[in-house]
Amino acid sequence: MRLTPITVENITIKNNVFLAPLAGYTNYAFRRLCKDYGAGLCYTEMVSAKGLKYGSENTEELLYTDENEGLTAAQIFGNDPEIMRRACEHEKFAPFPIVDINMGCPVPKIYKNGEGSALLENPQLAEKIVKECVKSGKIITVKFRIGITDDTLITKEFAKRMEGAGAKLITVHGRTKDKVYAGEVNYKEIASAKNTVHIPVIANGGVFSNADAERLINETGADGVMVARAALFDPQIFCELTGAENENRLTMFEKQMEWTKQTCDQRFTTVFMRKMAAFYVKGVRGAATYKERLFKAQTPEEILDIAKEIWG
């Protein structure tokens, strides 16, 4: 696909290929890996504004970053405008000039709390949240879905409201809340957002190859694409999309393991890298046997030994 920089207020993002915020996965090590392979902008896992307010240790851990990572956006979720603004102003957000507000998460617990995709049904509250968060001085962006169901599509109106409230970029996931992550992407709805607002529009949904990304751009007119699940199976999809240099799969895995160990304890590193190895082994002969062995591994070293068998 054609790479172009994206300017958001006073910040220029090097290219228009983004990594989506993925709960349970887009930690420091994974973001840094994807950036190495060309991703223009990566997002933290979504952070609970209330969790930050009440000092949740886990919530603060999600915001770990350092000078080696470079420009990163933080993502928050919640439904109280004041608490959301205070989250943006929290000291843990200091390294993140861009804060994205999640208005698309379809997880039942989040939706039932009136957060994530539930805000699609309450556009007035969504506007208040954005307006309040803008007061923090952060560059505010919004990620949302095209509606709750195909009978309640709201893309055009919602995009206009978000821009009017002060959002400087929007990401549109071209599926409804009830589709979760399955089904066809509605290009027409994403295009309606692009044709309505004057801020950058990033298209999200169904990008598993360069051909997918090009089709998404061509069908919607969007300014860029956001990659989600495909990156879990192969972070080097960003090499395909941006022309960055590929690495041996073992080298990739060793880098991610090392960066995870730098920032997390042994137990987390073991559990997380088992999950990642299970994604990466897809398509390898004997994958089922390798997965069984991986999930029995008790230390990072055991996992790395199996990885060397697979890709060494």
With DSSP H G I counted as helix, E B as strand and the rest as coil, what are the percentages for the chain, rounded to 5? 45, 15, 35
- Alpha carbon dihedral 218, 17, 199, 94, in 10-degree steps, equals 170
Task: Report residue 272 as tokens.
Answer: 């997380």
Angle at CA of residue 130, ends 74 and 14, nearest 5°:
40
Reference 204, options 216, 192, 193; nearest CA is 216
Task: Report residue 86 as tokens.
Answer: 């205070």
Residues 6+ apart with CB under 8 A from 92: 52, 60, 63
Task: Report residue 158 as tokens.
Answer: 């919602």
Alpha helices in 96-202 (DSSP H): 108-112, 123-134, 155-165, 187-194
- Relative to beta strand 98-103, strand 224-227 is unpaired
34 part of the active site: no
Catalytic residue among 34, 88, 105, 264: 105
Q: Is 19:226 a contact under the CB 8 Å cutoff?
A: yes
Angle at CA of residue 282, ends 281 and 286, nearest 5°:
70
Dihedral class, residue 58 (left if φ above 0, else alpha if ψ from -120 to 50, else beta):
alpha
Q: What residues act catalytically?
A: 105
